[in-house]
Amino acid sequence: MKEFIINMNDSGQRIDRFLGKSMPELPKSMMYRLIRKKDIKINGKRCEISTILSEGDVVRVYVKDEVAAVRSHDMGFLSASDEIQPVYEDGNILVVFKPVGVDSHSNGTSSADTLIDRVKKYLYSKKEYVPEAESSFAPALCSRLDRNTAGLVTAAKNAAALREINSAIQNGSLHKIYRCVTVAAPPQPEGIAVAYHRKDADRNIVRISDTPADGFREIRTGWKVIAESRGLYLVEVTLYTGRTHQIRAHLAHLGAPLLGDGKYGDVRANKRYGIFRQQLCAYALGFSLPESSPLAYLNEKRITAPEPGFMEMFR
């Protein structure tokens, strides 16, 4: 028999999802059978697959020891670099600046020194993340940036914040603003473009279409030109959707490819300026959360990154 006392980070989720994380060796089919047979109890009473856990609940799983192994805590993050640049922090979220050259998450081939590993190590050092006290939660990034894109990334310190931020991203209540340099002017100084996006996962490239087509999903990208110098344009971009390579691919489709972009950009322009890494930074975050949200206090804040180096081109 295994017993779990539900803490704050475990609460608010279904019993089957909790057990899927906390007892990874327990097959789903067996879990569902145990629930049907009343061999999984909450506070001594039977439960349903859809039962939502509350803080303080006692979960008992009556199962043989060979399938009762609980989640082991991977401490590999302790080998990550100590280099981390918090930009904003409170009891619920941590916004950090991700430098170029650091992966947001492991891609299976990268080292353990990813942004999420650095975040976990940072919070562990502050005793805000105690792995052995968690059955199902670990700090998580709410968004990610490409390895060669710098900028702000939000991490959730607790499960409730993770749910709130993920919901805000899905419903458009979290506003992500980027700055970039393009080698040609967008169609107008300011605008919002609608197009259709399809990712080719095998080639890690996307296609943009002006018209709907099978496999394509709608995207919306807003832009505003804020400076011009030597044939280059400093552009502020607002993402209204968040698809893979959206800014790079969409601006290139509009005739304004990013300086230094080797995948969607202008090779000759990159050679002319001697820049071969996309000049793109996730520059600012804003929130418009419902007043009922426990994170509604973020509505008063605009979080900005350190000024990207490419701004020097426009002095």
Of 37, 36, 35, nearest to 59 by C-alpha is 35
Residue 110: its pLDDT value, please?
A: 54
Is the same domain home to 167 and 183?
Answer: no
Is the same domain home to 271 and 193?
Answer: yes
Residue 106: its pLDDT value, please?
A: 85
Contacts of residue 37, defined as CB under 8 A and 6 or more positions apart, other chains included, come to: none
Domain boundary residue, one of 171, 194, 220:
171
pTM: 0.87
Residue 109: its pLDDT value, please?
A: 58
Is the same domain home to 163 and 232?
Answer: no
pLDDT digits (tens, 9 = 90+) for 14-58: 999 999 999 988 889 999 999 999 999 999 999 999 999 999 999
Domain boundary residue, one of 67, 84, 101:
67
Give, in degrees to the nearest 5, the angle at Cα 82 between 76 and 87: 115
Is the same domain home to 61 and 104?
Answer: no
Measured between alpha carbons, how far is 20 from 28 in angstroms, rounded to an integer? 7
Pairing of strands 205-209, 217-229: unpaired
Q: Which domain holds residue 22?
A: 2-67
pLDDT digits (tens, 9 = 90+) for 242-270: 899 999 999 999 999 999 999 999 999 99
pLDDT digits (tens, 9 = 90+) for 62-117: 987 766 666 677 888 999 999 999 999 999 999 999 999 999 998 765 567 999 99
Helix, strand, coil percentages for the chain (3-state, nearest 5): 25, 30, 45
Is the same domain home to 159 and 268?
Answer: no
CB neighbour class for 16 (10 Å; exposed up to 12, middle 13-18, buried from 19): middle
**Buried b or exposed e, range 206-227, using 16+ CB within 10 angstroms:** bebeeeeeeebeebebebebee
Residue 24: its pLDDT value, please?
A: 86
Is the same domain home to 210 and 155?
Answer: no
Q: What integer is the mean pLDDT of 190-213?
A: 95
